Every structure is written in structure tokens, then in C-alpha cells.
Amino acid sequence: MQKVKLPLTVDPIRAAQKRSDYDGIITANLLERLAESTQSVNSDASVTLTFDIDNQRLVVLHGKASVSVDLECQRCGDAYTHSYEVEFFYSPLRNPEKADELPEAYEPIEIDENGEISLLQLIEDELMVALPQVAMHDEVDCKVSSDNLVFGEIPSADERPNPFAVLESLKHSNKE
């Protein structure tokens, strides 16, 4: 089944009043910032969105997005495919000063002067934030086994007494 393209902007208040649901895609070519942060974007982003008004009468947006990208493994240098999903809860606000009053579960997002929010920007931000800090293969898939890695390893301390310490004590005893 071919998925519909998501609108790039939406009026969240109207969408919430209509209890709108979206199930669609953002095509890979639009995810330019994500492409710059990765080796390549391999798939369109699949997105589901639900707009609602909660029992505190807040407009809320609950969504999930998934995508597949290529990343460069920081251990062996090869590219590998990373597929992942993000989930987010937003409350679109006309007045950003109200952000402090929001329940912690919701992130604020400002409604622009046209009464809209940018779905492309919101979803791309979420996908970028969720990229791994250090891209790495799963250990079993990586060319460099962790046994060969030395960084962060402190060689076990030598238990024998330091020969120089013995000399020091001899010197001191000779002086007396």
C-alpha cells in the first residue's frame, strides 16, 4: 500500500478540534539536515500523528516516526545501516511564555503567525536528536573486536615492590 505524503505544516488547533490522525511519510529527499548528519538517509520517514485536546484542555500532539540511515562506525570506519524510531509528545502554544506551565510530559512548540507548526522541522529535529552520540556497529557485526581495543584499559598494577623504593630506604639508612 502506498503511503500518503504528510503535510509539511499543519494548523494544530484545528487538527486537535477535529481529532485528526495522520499516517504518512516524509520523503527522504526532504530530510536534508538528517542527510548532512549521517552518511545517507535510506528510507522515507514513516510518521503517525494524533492531535487531541487533553482533559486540561491543552492541544496535544502525539507522534511516532521511523527512518533508516547509514552511519559510519567509529570503531572500524565502515558504514552500517541504522533503523530507529522516535516517539514524541508536544503541546503547540500560541504564547511561548506559557511553556513553563506545561505538564512535564509535553514539550512546547510555538505556533507561528499563520497558526501553523512545521511538521517537517519537528520530525526532523526529533530524528536528529535520537541519532547515536557515537555511531558503532553491534559488537558481533564489527570488524574490530573489542578484545583488540586498548583505550580506557589500565594495565593491571605490578604487585612487586618498586626497586627504587628499596634503594631510597638504603640511602636513608646509610646516612644515619
Q: What single letter denotes the amino acid at residue 166?
A: V
Query: Is 82 a binder of Zn ion (CB under 5 A)?
Result: no
Query: Is 71 a binder of Zn ion (CB under 5 A)?
Result: no
Binding mask 119-148 for Zn ion (x = CB under 5 A): ------------------x----x------
Ranges assigned E (strand) in the chain:
4-5, 9-10, 21-26, 40-41, 45-53, 59-72, 79-93, 107-110, 117-118
Query: Could you tell me the CA-to-CA distances from 88 to 61, 107, 129 in Å, in that order?
Result: 8, 8, 12
Binding mask 24-63 for Zn ion (x = CB under 5 A): ----------------------------------------
Query: Is 73 a binder of Zn ion (CB under 5 A)?
Result: yes
Give least dist CB 31 to Zn ion, A. Answer: 24
Residues in the chain: 176
Give the number of C-alpha atoms closer than 13 A to the C-alpha of residue 79, restricted to the C-beta side.
9
Q: What single letter denotes the amino acid at residue 148?
A: N
Give least dist CB 66 to Zn ion, A. Answer: 23
Q: What single letter denotes the amino acid at residue 24?
A: G
Among 11, 51, 60, 75, binds Zn ion (CB under 5 A): 75
Give least dist CB 135 to Zn ion, A. Answer: 9
CB 23 within 8 A of CB 50: no
Binding residues vs Zn ion (CB under 5 A): 73, 75-76, 137, 142
